[in-house]
Amino acid sequence: MSISIIRRTCVAAVLGGIAVLGSDAQGANAEEKVMQLPIRTDGPKSLDPVEGSTTYDNMACAQFYETLLTNQYASPMEMEPLLLTKMPTSEDGGLTWRFELKDGVYFHDDECFPGGKGRKIKTDDVFYSIKRLADDEYSLENWWLLDGTILGFNEYQMAQNAAAEFDYDAPVDGFRKINDREFEIVLAKPVYRFLYVLGMFQTSVVAHEAVEFYGEDFPRHPVGTGPFILDKWVPKQSLTASRNPNYHEVLYPDRDQWSREDKRARLHRAAGKQVPFVDRIEFTMYAQDQPMWLEFNAGNLGYSQVPEEFFPEAFDRSSKELKESYLRRGMRPHANKLLDFTFRGFNMEDELLGGYTEDKRALRRAISYAIDLDEINETFYNGRRIVYDGPIPPGLDGHPEGGASPYAARGRNISKAREMLAAAGYPDGEGLPAIRFYTSQSAINTAVAELVKRQLEEVNIVFEPVFQDFSTLIETINKKQAPFFGFAWSSDYPDGENNLALFYGPNEAPGSNHYNYKRAEYDALYEQVLTMGPSEGRTAIYAQMRDMVLEDCAYVGGMARERFYLINPWLLNCKPTERYYGWFKYLDVDDSKRE
């Protein structure tokens, strides 16, 4: 996810563990529109899109950088052009794609450019930005997105990383420049997901001048085309940005794009107006939920995800309707069903928990049988999560009928857990070392871990949770140092292939295959479905791949979340979505409605 910079002082301060946004919530200049928003967890680990992988990297980067395509704000499942004049076209069945860049799109004014004046983006910038994904200087963390996709790109990647110096000017067969605004990209094969990838923040367009000028400091000094320019980033604490005065024409969605429900929430009122509306955006990071919830209730944050432990405070548990006390304050609820895969994953290269022999598989299945996801759901999530088998979330092709697959080691099944422990060589848990589990630090994760510990104790499995801030957790997993770990994956695009990519061998950590799962039959099927569009045949292969991973028990899960938000009355145009994070530019504030 991308982001941008401008030099001012950050209003947010941390006092006594709670973020205080200053005595004047409108900032130093009373005429400025200032918007205060939360980032749940400790925030981004980098402001360079090619290094990003998490939701929070995305959330930050998308304020400063832009992609060729993006999701629609009114209908987030649909794609639309952002840096392009129109959607890409293909006349040969998706092998060759034609693009036309918008005129009048400039990089931010920055000292990396002559005279400090940002220049127009051009075709060469697109090719340069994509080539950065192939440079092993960035650990190839996001190479998986285009691996085997563009004609000659894999050959370029191997040749340049083997050379003494990476040559960004060397040609790639699939990159065809027509002029500074028009180009073609030729694929090695028609890959169905290709256009979706061009809407992912990791493919944001960056300026080579900025990368070269700032060097190692570039991840802290983004220079993009986005709606905001970075002011100050204090890692794990806060990030502030100011409106880009030279932002290209991007208009608030037309009235006819909004649903009747959206219009009742008055989300259509700004239709046709140029964005962004606010002068400054101020993010505060919250590694713990309670300070975020208190700040939101004090009126100091525009919106908040509703933490699970505070859901009964704001909503009726059975009807899910907002309580009268919050309605009287003018707060507005919003709910999203996420394309979500929440799991507890095994590192398949771990000496104890990894491997593909029957005894190794039996140990993982014993752990899975002993963990009761339904009890976790009822105890901590008010029964609102969907427990299902396989990595493909509800609503997508490949999700099992009724959410259940016979290949899953679905708990709770204590007798099967004991049977599997014996098959693994640890009868009644005898001789089994402690299972170290890594997850992000939060009050609810601590409580869930205690419940899992109790569940596993029943079959004499010792469970040792390790809590880290989110960015450290991802780094630990990327280095293959976590034997057992948990977090959630939200689909980058609405296709089960995105979730099946999580188990494709070449995508091993630091790529998206955090489990380091490697099985030749699976990889062959994955490569086959890449070129297939939606069809019954493709769905059948999805199911075959899903059940293969379930049989090997590469993880315990999954769960899909329904996310609830509350929005303070002073924040306008707000329809929170987790499909993408370029939507903050559509928000506005009405300071007269602040408490």
Using CB atoms within 10 Å of the CB of residue 592, give its burial: 0 to 12 exposed, 13 to 18 middle, 19+ buried: exposed
Peptide bond preceding 561: is omega within 30 degrees of 0, i.e. cis? Answer: no
DSSP line for 136-184: GGGTTTTGGGTTTTBTTHHHHHHHHHHSSS--TTS--TTEEE-SSSEEE
Strands (E), 270-420: 280-286, 303-305, 332-337, 340-346, 386-387
Residues of the chain with pLDDT under 50: 1-28
Peptide bond preceding 412: is omega within 30 degrees of 0, i.e. cis? Answer: yes
- Length of the chain as a residue count: 595
Domain boundaries, the chain: 13-243, 340-560
Block residue for tokens 């050959």: 155
DSSP state of 380: H
Distance CA 147, CA 156 (A): 11
Distance CA 123, CA 101 (A): 8
**What per-residue confidence (pLDDT) applies to 30?**
57
* CATH fold of 340-560: Dipeptide-binding Protein; domain 3 (3.10.105)
CB 147 within 8 A of CB 506: yes
pTM: 0.86
**Distance (Å) of CA 35 to CA 113, 300, 330:** 29, 9, 18
**What per-residue confidence (pLDDT) applies to 358?**
97
CB 36 within 8 A of CB 567: no
Peptide bond preceding 558: is omega within 30 degrees of 0, i.e. cis? Answer: yes
Q: Which of 76, 40, 56, 64 is nearest to 301 (CA)?
A: 40
**What per-residue confidence (pLDDT) applies to 540?**
98
254: CB partners within 8 A, 6+ apart: 271, 272
* Angle, in degrees to the nearest 10, between helices 358-370 and 443-457: 110
**What per-residue confidence (pLDDT) applies to 7?**
29
**What per-residue confidence (pLDDT) applies to 411?**
95
Using CB atoms within 10 Å of the CB of residue 114, give its burial: 0 to 12 exposed, 13 to 18 middle, 19+ buried: exposed
Distance CA 273, CA 334 (A): 24
Q: Which amino acid is at 221?
A: H
Q: Tell me if residue 381 falls in helix, strand or coil.
A: coil
**What per-residue confidence (pLDDT) applies to 382?**
80
The secondary structure of the chain in percent helix, strand, coil, rounded to multiples of 5, reads: 35, 20, 45
Distance CA 277, CA 2 (A): 19
**What per-residue confidence (pLDDT) applies to 516?**
98
CB 178 within 8 A of CB 184: yes
Q: Which amino acid is at 327?
A: L
**What per-residue confidence (pLDDT) applies to 20?**
37
Distance CA 484, CA 466 (A): 10
Q: Please tell me the CATH code under which domain 13-243 is placed.
A: 3.40.190.10
φ, ψ dihedrals at 46, nearest 5°: -155, 150
CB 300 within 8 A of CB 36: yes
**Distance (Å) of CA 6 to CA 49, 60, 154, 221, 279:** 18, 14, 37, 10, 11
Distance CA 302, CA 130 (A): 35
Encoding tokens for residue 283?
């993010």
Distance CA 121, CA 134 (A): 21
CB 401 within 8 A of CB 394: no
Block residue for tokens 């901590």: 380
Q: Which of 224, 97, 144, 200 is nearest to 501 (CA)?
A: 144
Distance CA 427, CA 358 (A): 15
CB 63 within 8 A of CB 2: yes
State pLDDT tens for residues 460-509: 999 999 999 999 999 999 999 999 999 999 999 999 999 999 999 999 99
* Angle, in degrees to the nearest 10, between helices 358-370 and 536-552: 90
